[in-house]
Amino acid sequence: MARLARQPLISIILPVTDAQFPALYPPIKSIIEQFYQRWELCVACRRTSCARADLENLARGQSRIKLSIHDGAVDLSDLCKLAAQRANGDFITFVDGGDSLAPQALYMVAEEINARAEVNVIYTDADWIDDNGARSNPQFKPDWCPDLLLSRNYLGRLTVFRRALASSCGGIRSDFGSSFEYDLILRIIEQADPATIRHIPSVLYHHRLDRSVTEPERALLNTRSRQALQEHLARRRIAATVEPSATGMYHRVRRTLPSSPPSVSLIIPTRDHCQLLKATIDSILERTDYPAYEIVVVDNQSSHPDAVTYLDEISRQPRIRVLRYDHAFNYSAINNFAAAQCASPILGLLNNDLIVINRDWLTEMVSHALRPEVGAVGAMLYYPDDTIQHAGVIVGFGGTAVHCLAGVPRAASEYSSRTDVIQNYSAVTAACMLTRSAVFAELGGLNDVELPIAFNDVDYCLRLRQRGYLITWTPYAMLYHLESASRGNDRDPDKVERARAEERYLGTRWTKSLGTDPYYNPNLSNHRELFALSRKPRAPKPWLAPPAGKPEIERAQR
């Protein structure tokens, strides 16, 4: 701490209600015991509060504690607003009664501010703690994930804001009750560059475990959160409505399509297995409410009489084109070949073994594909037994990449924050992916040289992210997927060697990306089981960083 070039003053806002009074001391004690001591505590309570006398005594003994006492019936947001008016810190944050900070919390925040002088928002991981100090339910958050923030306030606590920016955005607004912090975050990100929003992947905030929220309180909280979100969308001139998510716990932003929706070319490579292809095409034609699409079937040397007959039949339908690709199977090359012959502004890459579940699947995916900041959109795919086949892709797990939550039962409650909300990932599968034609051309399509069969979608998404695009996954586009049923297995020697070569290429080309997936917390395992605790967390510890000009310390640590 003595070596930190900047010693920012951090203002901590603590509202005190009578309901919080019995649990008032843990947060104050944890603040006083912080390793980093450049802080001030701004406390606000009502004049009639039973905590008033204790707080006045405390403030008399601590010059860094500023107590504001107010008349009238003010709620939590009003107390925070009044306390914040006393704040003089460079940065500001909020703590609730009963909660506490890890002793290194403010130190790690100060380290982040020193590492990145331009930082505007810093948020950390959190967990829950009981009266005996037992901790549980760690919240290991992703790095900056804008679509997830529009689905729920995943930043939560501990979140630290640059005070000048928070003030310029209008500060705390009392209209949103307990959702005031979400409203503030949404206004701040309208002005803050995403590069100035930083995540510290360390559990630095402990929520009080016995805090109970009644159903009416939860309903009011959700209503006010959706109001804040709707106003945020209006300020950004995004045509969309805010609805409860499928489970009602979170939010769904339903974006409005243009009055004349753009055409979409759905590209489906196939070879024989006409029953699979027929089921896929029938489900698209019967269960798709999106008005402007064509189906482009790419026949890769089908020879079975039934398949040949079926391809000839569907080629006469107005929505369907059949292209012939008379070369060895190369998934990347087939899609590149078809994309070059499509005039639609949006391309859909689909496998030939999909069954559409919800009628607005394509409407939902197009609504995100049209966003200029989004490069690719993925869907929720289920196996026929209603377990998850694909809910986004985690890169780096097992050395390459893995489908998120594969095999988990549909709508599993313990994974609701992953399965119930629109969010960003490092990659999505090309078994059902939408991307704009211009973006596909910008990247030169899929890699048909080093990645003819596998990982071409992961590589494509990583190249998109390299250029600054987001990868968005939505649970509101649902399909069944038989997972390459027409390809058979990859057990013969040539296929095994090809697969190994593709793995080697991916590992070599994307070494850094495979080591740090921003949407998968570094405290979680990259080898044993998805979302299990890692035996060797990859989260950085700033106190282990060597001082400038001391490489021998770094070598010793290694």
Interval 403-438: pLDDT, tens: 999 999 987 766 767 899 999 999 999 999 999 999
Phi-psi region of 301 (alpha: psi -120 to 50; beta: other; left: phi over 0): left
- CA–CA gap between residue 228 and residue 215 (Å, rounded): 20
Mean local confidence (pLDDT), 232-258: 95
Question: What is the pTM for the complete model shown?
Answer: 0.93
DSSP state of 540: -
Q: Which of 384, 394, 395 is nearest to 418 (CA)?
A: 394
Is pLDDT of 51 > 50?
Answer: yes
288 contact partners, CB below 8 Å, separation of at least 6: 356, 359, 361, 362
Question: Where residue 215 falls among pLDDT bands split at 50, 70, 90?
Answer: confident
Which has the minimum average pLDDT: 66-70, 98-102, 455-459, 500-504?
66-70
Question: Where residue 555 falls among pLDDT bands split at 50, 70, 90?
Answer: very low
Q: Which of 414, 352, 366, 158 is nearest to 254 (CA)?
A: 366
- pLDDT averaged over the chain? 90
Please state at what angle helix 493-509 crosses helix 456-466, rounded to 10 degrees. Answer: 10
Which has the minimum average pLDDT: 195-204, 343-352, 377-386, 537-546?
537-546
The alpha helices in 254-330, defined as continuous H runs, are 274-287, 305-314
Question: Where residue 54 falls among pLDDT bands split at 50, 70, 90?
Answer: confident
Structure tokens at 49: 């509060």
Cα separation values, 36 from 12, 108, 109, Å: 13, 9, 9
Give me the residue label for tokens 């040289």.
449
Strand pairing class (374-382; 432-436): antiparallel
| DSSP per position, 396-442 | SGGGSEEETTTTPBTT-GGGHHHHSS-EE-SB--TTEEEEEHHHHHH
CB 437 within 8 A of CB 345: yes
Helix (H, G, I), strand (E, B) or coil at 208: strand
For residue 492, the tally of other CB atoms under 10 A from its CB is: 10
**Distance separating the N- and C-terminal Cα atoms of the chain:** 22
Using only C-alpha atoms, the chain has a radius of gyration, in whole angstroms, of 27
Q: Which residues pair with 205 in a beta bridge?
A: 101, 126
| DSSP per position, 212-226 | ---HHHHHHHHHHHH
- CA–CA gap between residue 83 and residue 42 (Å, rounded): 5
Q: What's the pLDDT score for residue 22?
A: 60
Helix (H, G, I), strand (E, B) or coil at 299: strand
Is pLDDT of 246 > 90?
Answer: no
HSE-CB at 506 with a 13 A cutoff on CA atoms is 27
- CA–CA gap between residue 26 and residue 10 (Å, rounded): 19
Cα separation values, 121 from 149, 163, 527, 556, Å: 14, 10, 31, 33
Is pLDDT of 489 > 90?
Answer: no
Which has the minimum average pLDDT: 148-152, 161-165, 220-224, 462-466?
220-224
488 contact partners, CB below 8 Å, separation of at least 6: none
- CA–CA gap between residue 512 and residue 508 (Å, rounded): 9
Strand pairing class (39-46; 10-15): parallel
